[in-house]
Structure 1
Amino acid sequence: MAKYLVLYRADVSAEEQMQQSPEEGQAEMQEWMAWAGKVGGALTDFGSPVGNGRTVAPSGASASSSDVAGYSIVEAADADAAVALMDGHPHLKTGTIEVLEALEIPGM
């Protein structure tokens, strides 16, 4: 099985998305938990929302302009199977999902 990094992209930051009533937050969390239950053991790391990103370059660090709002890690037989795990994902209501294979490093 290969590992895949799942990036949740959105035009609205994770911080802004979490500015909601407790009832809205609970309802959204229930949708995420239902997805996690459907995916089962393929979900190896539920992940978390991300924010306050910094871009690091040889010249220094600056505020990031990334639209990544969170991540998860899944395992699947191939890229198509990993993408199929995203079917019905609640994040698709507010943004897009990018699925990237974690490649093995030769000699490690």
Structure 2
Amino acid sequence: MPHFLAVYTMTPESLARFRALPQDEQDAVDAAGLPAWQAWEAAHARALPDRGGMVGKTMRVTRDGVAPAANDCCGYVVVEADSIEAAARLFEGHPHFTIFPGDGVDIMPFLTGPASCSPAG
């Protein structure tokens, strides 16, 4: 079955707005969001061969060297599904953007490598 990389996205502005909230409001979001995220993972456990995780600041390596960089990626998970559309549907209503300040989830097929068990659609 095809595998897909799902990348959680969040703009720096969205994170800054969240961090500007009073601590009790941030804690309330966490109190609602973490159990909802765990429930989502439990409901889709069979489709998650790699539950991934959240990621921090970026360092970019180019021919010019190594330097801090910015992007909207804040986490990832590997999804197994019949198609990219089926993989995307798994994330409808996800807590990343319905409770937490995330902006979306980008879904991409693996075309090569160990996670590409069969041709991705």
TM bucket by the smaller chain?
Answer: 0.7 to 0.9
Query: Partners of 1:25 and 1:48 in 2: how far apart?
Result: 16
Give the RMSD, CA atoms, in angstroms: 2.3
Does 1:100 find its partner at 2:105? no
| 1:56 aligns to 2:61 (yes or no) | yes
Return the alpha-carbon distance in structure 1 between the equivalents of residues 75 and 57 of structure 2. 12
- State the partner residue of 2:11: 11
Gap runs ≥5 in structure 1: none
Matched AA of 2:76:
Y
SS in 2 for 1:30: helix
Post-superposition Cα deviations, 1:19-75, rounded to whole Å, max 9, x if no partner, equal 743x54343210111111221300112211111211110110111111101111110
Deviation for aligned residue 1:99: 0.3
- Structure 2 stretches of 5 or more lacking a match? 114-121
Task: Work out the CA distance in 2 between the residues paired with 1:53 and 1:104.
Answer: 24
Identity among equivalent pairs (%): 30
Matched residue count = 104
1:45–1:74 CA contact under 8 A, matched in 2: yes
Runs (4+) of structure 1 exceeding 2 A deviation are 15-21, 23-27
Is 1:35–1:88's contact at 8 Å kept on the other side of the alignment? no
Q: Which residue number in structure 2 is paired with residue 70 of structure 1?
A: 75
Residues of 2 paired with 1:68 and 1:57: CA distance? 18
Q: Residues of 2 paired with 1:104 and 1:24: CA distance? A: 38
SS at structure 2 position matched to 1:103: coil
Give the Cα separation in 2 of the matches to 1:43 and 1:12: 27
Question: 3-state SS of the aligned residue for 2:49?
Answer: strand
